[in-house]
Chains A and B, each alone.
Chain A
Amino acid sequence: MTTHRFDYGVSLYSYTGEFGTTLTLDDCIDDVADLGATGLEILGETHVQEYPEPPTAWVDAWFARLDRLGLTPTCFGAWVDTRRFGDRPMTVEEATNQLATDIRLAARLGFRFMRPKLGVVTSDLEPDPVWVPATERVLDLAAEKDVVICPEIHWPSVIKSKVVDDYLDFIGRTGTQHFGLLMDTGVFQNRRHARHGGPRSRLGEGRAAPPDVPQVPVADLADVLDHVVYIQAKFYEIEDRDGVLRDDYIPWADILDVLRRGGWHGYLSSEYEGDYGVGRAADQIRRQHALLRILDAN
């Protein structure tokens, strides 16, 4: 076994398209352990039975399974759905309650990180301003439960942006140890990947075009690395090119180099978002872990 600098995890989001149809929750988690990952990331609203109040038996089975497989819960994905109420915005109290619900459930299931996916108000994904007072109100709870709240920096957001500046200002102003950035490696994509298969859907009525996003230099990661608490290793396709693993979309060698130079330690949690197909996620995640571990050992 080779030594490695980073911890490796998998987000169950990767099995989207198979979870609930061709794979059960047990199948997905068994697969994460089988491929050698130690970290397990889930989506609360997807994978927790009867979210947000799972039966006690389900919680007991959750911990028994983690023990048996040697897995550590990493990040609990959650949502602040600011458009739930259609004709009116979400109130501070409602947003606070949603965050508190997810922090409590994340802690109950053993998670250290909680990613709130925040509703947005602009085309470049500026979050609804309700996030500021709502997050302030749950900082004590996060400290008590030792859960780090980490909104994700996700394409089409870029690192040098008001979105990221506002998160960093929040950390500076509150002095909290329980808020940080989750970096989704999709922001560093060299080219867009068109996802094939799966349920056919379209966005809106087709009036708007997808945003034109500048390529984010991997060097920008170094500027915010001190506040990055978790990395979602988003990827689309790892190719077998004459027996060599290649990713033409995400520049892994450059990303790992920045992490290494910055002395960063933490989880790289795989999030496969490539083509749908039975068995595809399991194969692609293994390819990615092999590729990352080869780079990590060099």
Chain B
Amino acid sequence: MTVLDVPMIQTRGFRNRDGGGGFELRLRLPYYRGVWTNLVEGASVTVDGEHFGADDIAWSIGDDQYTLAELTSSTDARWSVDVPATLHVPRAEPLAIGLHDVDVELRVRMSYIPEELQPTIWSEERRLVITR
């Protein structure tokens, strides 16, 4: 098992994509159990005030990659508590080397909580570092 950072937003994995086109951000599932990915509604990201909508963000979990539509319509894909997800966020220019304020809002649907109280929304902000 990979031992992960306690916060949802992971220190490791925050980087500009090789070859351009955006950056990557790693999340630990902050829930107490792994989920079928069609319970995930998506995650939106804000970096230094610049907002990236959930629909534009692709995911990878382990070796598998998904668009948001693929992630939320799969009937057998899973996101485990011990396997972090990588968000692939499109952006024309790479993020500058140095500090960035990163805000993430993750939405997951829970079947055992009354519908009027759903989805459950985790939000977290961390200051992370881009090194290259």
Contacts and interface: CB of A to CB of B under 8 A. Distances in A.
A83 B109 contact: yes
A118 B6 CA distance: 29
Contact of A86 (B3, B34, B72): B72
B3 A24 contact: yes
Interface residues of B, number: 38
A100 interface: no
B114 A123 contact: yes
B121 A202 contact: yes
Contacts of A79: 33, 111-112
Interface string A181-223: 0000000000000000011111110011001000000000000
A43 B32 contact: yes
A81 B39 contact: yes
Interface range for A:
35 or more
Interface string B104-132: 00000111111111111111100000000
Nearest to B112: A117
B117 A208 contact: yes
Nearest to A80: B111
A43 B4 CA distance: 19
Nearest to A273: B32
Given A79-B33, A120-B114, A21 B121 contact: no
A8 to B, nearest CB: 22
A200 B111 contact: no
Interface in B16-35: 28, 30, 32-35
Contact of B111 (A13, A17, A119): A119
Interface string A63-85: 00000000000000101111111
A266 interface: no
A62 interface: no
B116 A207 contact: yes
A81 B8 CA distance: 23
A264 interface: no
A46 interface: yes
A125 interface: yes
Interface in A41-59: 43, 45-46, 49-51
B5 interface: yes
Contact of A46 (B81, B115, B118, B119): B81
B33 to A, nearest CB: 4
A22 to B, nearest CB: 7
A199 B30 contact: yes
Contact of B36 (A13, A25, A84): A84
B100 interface: no
Interface of B: 1, 3-8, 28, 30, 32-36, 38-39, 72, 75, 78, 80-82, 109-124
Given A45-B80, A117-B112, A201-B30, 9 more contacts: A16-B32, A20-B3, A20-B4, A51-B34, A51-B80, A81-B36, A118-B111, A119-B112, A199-B30
